[in-house]
Amino acid sequence: MRDTQFEYLCNTALPQDYYVADDELGFDLAKNYPGGPHEFKGPPEWVTTNRFGCYDRELGDEPYILVLGDDWSFGFAPEGKRWTDLLERKLGIRLLKCAVPQVGTRWEVIKAHRIIDSIGRAPLAVLIQYGPEDVVDDFEFPRHGVADGHAINIIRTLDLATGQVTRLTPAEIRHDANAQAARRSGCKSVLYRTLWFQLREGRRQALVAALPSSEATIQHMATVRDGDLISGNYLALAAYHFNVWDFEHPDRPWFQAALFNHKQNIRDFSLLLPDNAAPIILLDPFNVFDKNLMKDMVGYFDKKKGTYRVSFPSMAQDEFWPYDIGWNAKGNAHAANIIFDFIHYNNLKMSN
């Protein structure tokens, strides 16, 4: 199947031991990982890490821009065609590419402090790629662990009435690790992958109702009491198969508290570079900050404070991988152009 037009239905996986457990973060990329195949979109890409646990080459004494983010910035595209690679060439400045799949704002703040402290000198700028799931990542932090050298989502459920989070037991984590290993041995079934994508696209309730209760994959997709994803009181969160922005409700004060804390995590990025030492640029490719629940954050982005937000125009369908979530090479090129144009339009100085 990997050699056909249906290659997008194949499983994706980073190599074993690419992840390591972390007492504070839950998981992180291993430091100085020598290299292994990342099975994504056909022929695997070779992935490594440097001494900071970043998917990038080593940093010398040169000035640098620190990049943080999740899957979209880790780069599900061939090395050299990621938006970070392209922007680096356009700017002529070294980008230290430290994005990690499936992380959120709080995770990134901690990682950024570690990297800057380890380097011993401040970056010329910090680029943070934001995503609509970041508020969930923060609320459930840490939401990943490591088993058999692979990242495991350790969240079992979230009670929508109380906000109580339950995590997998060690035995359940082992079971999930074994199940993931089985899936990595080949392609996922066409049915599983197609249903997964449809669920991500928003046709959630119909799919949940269509799945038989005995279907093993249902626990990885959505388990809902009363069959209602939004108004029900209980939701399994084994993956990003819901729209968190639908959960705002006056009867759910935990969500308001979670949103408040999440916004504080965003503000904490300004502590990375005190006294406006360098620009802090938040990349908002999904324009989450245009949502009513986030509009009060507009004041955070102030040129006088050295904080900026890059909003994105709608991306074309052919800039995404088919039946998956992520920019292809064309989408990465478009994203690099958007960010480069923003930097030059705002005359952001990135030099010592």
Query: Is residue 181 a contact partner of residue 175, using CB atoms and an 8 Å limit?
Result: no
Region 235-261 average pLDDT: 64
Q: How far apart are CA 55 and CA 74, in angstroms?
A: 7
Stated length of the chain:
352
Query: Is residue 252 a contact partner of residue 234, using CB atoms and an 8 Å limit?
Result: no
- Is the pTM higher than 0.85? no
Compute the mean pLDDT over every residue in the chain, rounded to the nearest whole number: 79
State the CB neighbour count (10 A cutoff) for residue 265.
Answer: 20
Q: Model confidence over 126-149: pLDDT tens digits?
A: 999 998 889 888 988 998 999 989
Query: Is residue 242 a contact partner of residue 222, using CB atoms and an 8 Å limit?
Result: yes
Region 69-96 average pLDDT: 92
| pLDDT band at 194; cut points 50, 70, 90 | low
Query: Is residue 217 a contact partner of residue 210, using CB atoms and an 8 Å limit?
Result: no
* pLDDT for res 155: 83
**Superfamily for domain range 7-138+259-345:** SGNH hydrolase (3.40.50.1110)
Would you kindly state where each structural domain of the chain is located, as residue ranges? 7-138+259-345, 154-254
Region 102-118 average pLDDT: 96
Residue with tokens 């239905």: 9
The yes-or-no verdict on residue 115 having pLDDT over 90 is yes
Q: Is pLDDT larger for residue 274 or for residue 27?
A: 27
Report the DSSP pairing between strands 94-97 and 64-68: parallel
Q: How far apart are CA 73 and CA 71, in angstroms?
A: 5
To the nearest 10°, the Cα dihedral for 244, 73, 292, 125? Answer: 140
Q: Model confidence over 306-341: pLDDT tens digits?
A: 899 999 998 888 888 775 668 888 999 999 999 999
Q: Model confidence over 196-227: pLDDT tens digits?
A: 555 544 444 444 444 333 333 333 333 333 33
Q: Model confidence over 257-278: pLDDT tens digits?
A: 989 999 999 999 888 887 767 8
Amino acid identity for residue 224 in this structure = V
Q: Is pLDDT larger for residue 15 or for residue 96?
A: 96
The yes-or-no verdict on residue 187 having pLDDT over 70 is no
* pLDDT for res 192: 52
* pLDDT for res 61: 96
226 alpha-carbon distance from chain centroid: 30
* pLDDT for res 219: 35
Q: Model confidence over 37-76: pLDDT tens digits?
A: 877 655 568 899 999 999 999 999 999 999 999 989 997 7
The yes-or-no verdict on residue 236 having pLDDT over 50 is no
Nearest Cα to Cα of residue 352 among 68, 65, 95, 57: 65
Residue with tokens 């430091």: 31
Q: How far apart are CA 54 and CA 61, in angstroms?
A: 17
Cα-based distances in Å from 97 to 94, 128, 248, 283:
9, 11, 34, 14
Q: Over pLDDT 90: what percentage of the chain?
A: 40
The yes-or-no verdict on residue 173 having pLDDT over 70 is yes
